[in-house]
Structure 1
Amino acid sequence: MTTSSSVTSSSSSSSSYATSDVSSVDWSGLIEELYQAKLAATTTYETKISTNEAKISAYNDAIDLLETLQTAATALRAVTDSTASDTDVFLERKAYLTGTGGVDTSAVLTVSAESGVATGSYSLTVSQLATSQKVASGNFTASSSALGLSGSFSIGVEGGEAVTIDVTETMTLAQIAAAINDGSDTSGVKATVLKVSSTSYQLILSTVDTGQTIAVSDADGVLQDLGIVDDDGGFADELQASQQAIFTIDGVTITRSTNEIDDVIDGLTFYLTGTTGEGQAVNVEIAQNLSDIKSAVIAFVDAYNAYREWALSQQATATGGGASSDAVLFGDSTIRTINQQIASALTFSLDDVSMSALGLSFDNNNYLQYDEKTLNKVLNADTAIIQQLFSYSFESSSSDLGILYRGTSAPSTFTLDITVDDDGNITGVTVDGESGLFTVTSTGHGIKGVAGTAYEGYTFVFTGSTSQSVTVTQAAGIAEQIYNATKNAINSSSGSIVTVISNLTSKNTSYETQIDRITDRADTYKANLTLRYARLQAKISQANSMLTYINALLDAQNSD
């Protein structure tokens, strides 16, 4: 009885354990939960990366806008007196044409002027245009039929190199023309097949350049058979004689072989297209390109306003206070510094003349606006005012000193004490009595500001033969200051914005490295958990199987 009671108790206890449902445990979910807990540390880094990426994007928007502003400022900042630049709008020139005696100037002449060419006015008359010589062959019924001609001839222009053309019996009029054109670069003569009618074709020869005369040699009589030369060797049908262009500038008669003339006045090219009649003349005035200057000022206003709009977006506040979600650079010190520099530049005045004299002003949001009537008035009256306000200006008390390159930090006025030897080579330079601020270049005539001083970036050229004290006076106008401010911000190697972007990028790289490390550790942790739980599940399964077996044995015994 005692034994039976003991067995019954064991059976009851084992049966109760066996009914525990360990198979309902979500092992995968448990592992994933623990895995995600390990990964949670990456969230902080991902947030930092997202924030930095938004800032980088905003900084890049600023760079794009500042580049546009810098380009606009470049056109107005002016070059130094010793250099030239195609981007300087104040050096751009335009030819203004007016006629006398009722002449249509557009039918007679056009003029192009290079940047920086001397301004002035000229009176032109054109009595004759340069022309090419043109001669024609006889008539042929087709251009693509074999002519049955055989032999050779040479062709060129007088004083030039001739080309030999070989003709075979199977060659057509078109093929002879092609053979001549193959040598046009050397001979200076070109050929064209002219369709006179459906049954009449002619070969037309003409000089490539005007003012040239065709020269031929026809030992085999091919040109005579073509009807180009007559029995005496002269041209049978001259359509147009070669002639020189004849014109006058300020009463001086000039002859040229071309109608495109660029060697009469330095920097000017005259394109002759017609002739003037008795008592007629074309007056050419070379002056600053006023429309380009106006366009440059307006482009500057537009570029500034575009940047201003972006800058305001970074100062926007939310309805409930604090920065707007879009103002990712709210309170940014780098942008604040740039904004202050630009604002300071726009307040520049010289000799009590400010941008208001040009019709420029700020609206309530500090956007620039311009009064076109006032701007036009200044353009027509005195463009020097515009240049004075926008550009860099340089004055030297000695004509022997010129500026080649300019820096940004030197005072507005300083005196260079320059000493030279008997050969005129510079031996020393001091600034207001202080040495060590300039070095002498290898040419012996240049002085260069020492890096790290206020004169860094300046290079002067001195052509004097005696020692001198030279006073330099300079001023940086609106465009010059904004150019320097934008350069300091977006210079590809040292710009303040570029540096910030580089730092943020480096931080993001570091954060991504941290994320990779955390993820690798979490992955390893997950793999280990998966393996451990798999082993645990296997043991539980094995234990359950054993328990089931034991219960079965006990149940069998009890049934007995």
Structure 2
Amino acid sequence: MTTSGTSTTSTIDWDSLIAAAVNAKLAAATSISTQITANEAKVSAYQTLQTDLSTLSSGLTSLASSVVNSLATNAFATRSATLSSTGDVSASSALSMSVQNGAATGDHTLTISQLATAHKVMSSEQSSTTSAAGISGTFSLGLAGGSTADITVTSSMSLQNIVDTINAQTSTTNVEASIVQVSSGSYRMVLTGTQDAAAITYSSSSGDDVLNSLGFTDSSGTFSNVLQTPQAAEFTLDGISMTRDTNDITDVLSGVTFNLLQATPSDSTINIDIEPDTSQISSALQTFVTNYNAYRDAVIAQQATNSDGTAASGAVLFGDGTMRDITNQLEAALNSTVGGLTMSDLGLSFNDQNELELDTGTLSSILSTNLSGVTKLLSAQTTTSSTQLSVVNTGLSPQSFTLDVTVDSSGNLTGASVGGDSSQFTVSGNTIIGAAGTIYAGMAFSYTGTTSQSITVTSTSGIASQIYQIAKTSSSSSGSLQTLIDSLQDRDSTMQQQVDDITNNAATYKTQLQTQYASYQAAIQSANNTLTYLKALLNSSSSS
């Protein structure tokens, strides 16, 4: 209220009144939004754990299974080859080689008598590569035992044109042509077989004898200038003499490729040592330590406390039961004993922060002295009670069960079942494969028997395979963490709808108040105008 002389006016702060009323309505939305923010922080923390566990499981894939065959990609199936020599020869100069996963380990000795070579012949000297050669004829060209093609030359074609025409048919003939400049104004054409140990074959079919005219052959049709005769590779492996039509040999040792580079002198040998590539196991364990500690760091951050013992502001999962259960499962797996060995035998231990450390010296020692023990300690192992059922793949979640194998009267494998259920496995030829979506998915066997029988399959899980399964299950789209995330997000959606409803209602309420208070202000203003008029009327009467 404001008084001036005999006049009194009324001024009301309608905006403040409206804001106070609307804020009172919005107080509930603010409280709910605070809860949504807290839930979002939990979701983010759960997602961090999911990511860390997913990384942990994927990093253990190469250690969780230990089947050794050409299809295996685990760290235990990788192979390395070491070359050395005796006598006057450099092993790396005479041989290079590659070894596939699952190749048989062992020592071998190799001597190389001669390399395989391709046939290479040369023309007589020609004075130009661009002038017309003046030769016109058709001839057949190829390699002995292979396909041939007809090459047609016209009188206007130059030496380079003839080369181009021959090379246009190389995919059929396996013969390449090239030009060598011997000196200024002197050129020779060279024909080279693209396959070793095969002679170039030639016959003139019509017109000029083109290759004879170019000086490749003599009057009898024999090549005159042979630069390199075709021959097979000759070598001895472990005392067995062999020949091959190539220097790149893939069919001597399964999974091993030899690239012969030069002949070895007499009394010289190349020594080959094929062994497991344990560096792959070491690398995978280093990765495991890194990934496990990343998960542990995330857990430790959620266990942080203030000086008074209360949870730190960032520890939104403090005391969370699901996180604790997952961590306890991982630690139990790490502390398990398999085949009489523990993680300490690998050089693994926990430090003061409960994080993993790896002693590479201890690991290197046990890898060189007890690789089979390390393999069993870390990976999934599957054995069968019958030598006729061999394990092709254990999968990453191997099971123990009795497999009933059925064979028809001709000895052909027709089915495999567990407990009378034939849908758990599929059969293809002599291979038995765990059906997708079942607990046997990823398991595979090869059956060589000719009679029906029941075979016991026994599987064990090492440390790596156990942790792989725990981490994979916990971080999956149907795992315990995702269940919590989905629940929180569903709750947030419901609460957000409540916030939206309260906000919308408050906005409507504000509009109503603005209309209502505007009418009040208009009424007050009208009353003030009437009062002013009456005062003026009274003053006028008094004056008269």
- Band of TM-score, shorter chain: 0.7 to 0.9
The correspondence for 1:259, drawn from 247, 253, 275, is 247
Going from structure 1 to structure 2, the CA distance change for 1:77 and 1:326 (only over 3 Å counts) comes to same
1:481 to 2:472 alignment? no
TM-score (norm 1): 0.78
Helix, strand or coil at the partner of 2:7: helix
Instruction: Please name the residue that 1:491 is paired with.
Output: 476
Helix, strand or coil at the partner of 1:90: coil
Instruction: Please name the residue that 1:3 is paired with.
Output: none
CA distance in 2, matches of 1:417, 1:261: 40
1:20 to 2:6 alignment? no
CA distance in 2, matches of 1:50, 1:75: 40
Instruction: Please name the residue that 1:512 is paired with.
Output: 496
CA distance in 1, matches of 2:526, 2:178: 103
Range with greater deviation from structure 2 (34-43 or 187-196):
187-196
Range with greater deviation from structure 2 (354-363 or 196-205):
196-205
1:91 to 2:77 alignment? yes
Aligned length: 533
CA distance in 2, matches of 1:559, 1:181: 130
Give, in angstroms, the shift of residue 278 of structure 1: 0.3
Q: Contact 1:161/1:187 (CA < 8 Å) preserved in 2? A: yes
Instruction: Please name the residue that 1:8 is paired with.
Output: none
Instruction: Please name the residue that 2:35 is paired with.
Output: 48
Instruction: Please name the residue that 2:350 is paired with.
Output: 362
Please show how residues 39-438 of structure 1 align to structure 2 within 5 Å. 39-79=26-66, 86-136=72-122, 147=132, 153=138, 155-158=141-144, 159-162=146-149, 164=151, 169=156, 177-192=163-178, 204-216=190-202, 219=206, 221=208, 223-224=210-211, 227=214, 229-230=216-217, 232=219, 235=223, 237-400=225-388, 416=402
Range with greater deviation from structure 2 (126-135 or 532-541):
532-541
CA distance in 2, matches of 1:482, 1:230: 73
Helix, strand or coil at the partner of 2:341: coil
Give, in angstroms, the shift of residue 344 of structure 1: 0.7
**Paired amino acid for 1:241:** T
Going from structure 1 to structure 2, the CA distance change for 1:178 and 1:399 (only over 3 Å counts) comes to same
RMSD between aligned residues:
4.4
CA distance in 2, matches of 1:427, 1:178: 59
**Paired amino acid for 1:99:** S
Deviations 1:28-80 (A, max 9, x none): x5444444443333323332332233223222322232233223322222245
CA distance in 2, matches of 1:472, 1:230: 70
Identity %: 37
Helix, strand or coil at the partner of 1:271: strand
Instruction: Please name the residue that 2:25 is paired with.
Output: 38
Give, in angstroms, the shift of residue 279 of structure 1: 0.8
Unmatched 5+ stretches in structure 1: 1-11
Helix, strand or coil at the partner of 1:89: coil
Helix, strand or coil at the partner of 1:501: helix
Going from structure 1 to structure 2, the CA distance change for 1:173 and 1:344 (only over 3 Å counts) comes to farther
Going from structure 1 to structure 2, the CA distance change for 1:478 and 1:16 (only over 3 Å counts) comes to same
Deviations 1:239-266 (A, max 9, x none): 4333322222222222222221112222
Helix, strand or coil at the partner of 1:75: helix
Give, in angstroms, the shift of residue 92 of structure 1: 1.5
**Paired amino acid for 2:96:** T
Q: Contact 2:120/2:228 (CA < 8 Å) preserved in 1? A: yes
Give, in angstroms, the shift of residue 371 of structure 1: 2.8
Helix, strand or coil at the partner of 1:40: helix
Q: Contact 1:314/1:328 (CA < 8 Å) preserved in 2? A: yes
The correspondence for 1:502, drawn from 486, 492, 504, is 486
Q: Contact 1:135/1:228 (CA < 8 Å) preserved in 2? A: no
Give, in angstroms, the shift of residue 328 of structure 1: 2.4
Q: Contact 1:417/1:429 (CA < 8 Å) preserved in 2? A: yes
Deviations 1:174-223 (A, max 9, x none): 66555544443333234455566786666554333333444455645595
Give, in angstroms, the shift of residue 106 of structure 1: 0.7
Going from structure 1 to structure 2, the CA distance change for 1:210 and 1:463 (only over 3 Å counts) comes to closer
Q: Contact 1:133/1:241 (CA < 8 Å) preserved in 2? A: yes
TM-score (norm 2): 0.80
CA distance in 2, matches of 1:456, 1:216: 58
CA distance in 1, matches of 2:217, 2:417: 80
Deviations 1:259-290 (A, max 9, x none): 21112222211111222110111122222112
Going from structure 1 to structure 2, the CA distance change for 1:534 and 1:271 (only over 3 Å counts) comes to farther
CA distance in 2, matches of 1:177, 1:549: 119
Helix, strand or coil at the partner of 1:322: coil
Helix, strand or coil at the partner of 1:131: coil
Going from structure 1 to structure 2, the CA distance change for 1:199 and 1:544 (only over 3 Å counts) comes to farther
CA distance in 1, matches of 2:303, 2:29: 31
CA distance in 2, matches of 1:559, 1:216: 144
Deviations 1:405-431 (A, max 9, x none): 5786978xx8x596979958899999x
Range with greater deviation from structure 2 (466-475 or 61-70):
466-475
Going from structure 1 to structure 2, the CA distance change for 1:483 and 1:271 (only over 3 Å counts) comes to same
**Paired amino acid for 2:485:** I
Going from structure 1 to structure 2, the CA distance change for 1:455 and 1:163 (only over 3 Å counts) comes to closer
Give, in angstroms, the shift of residue 108 of structure 1: 1.3
Q: Contact 2:426/2:433 (CA < 8 Å) preserved in 1? A: no
CA distance in 1, matches of 2:180, 2:14: 94
Range with greater deviation from structure 2 (157-166 or 343-352):
157-166
1:525 to 2:516 alignment? no
Give, in angstroms, the shift of residue 389 of structure 1: 1.2
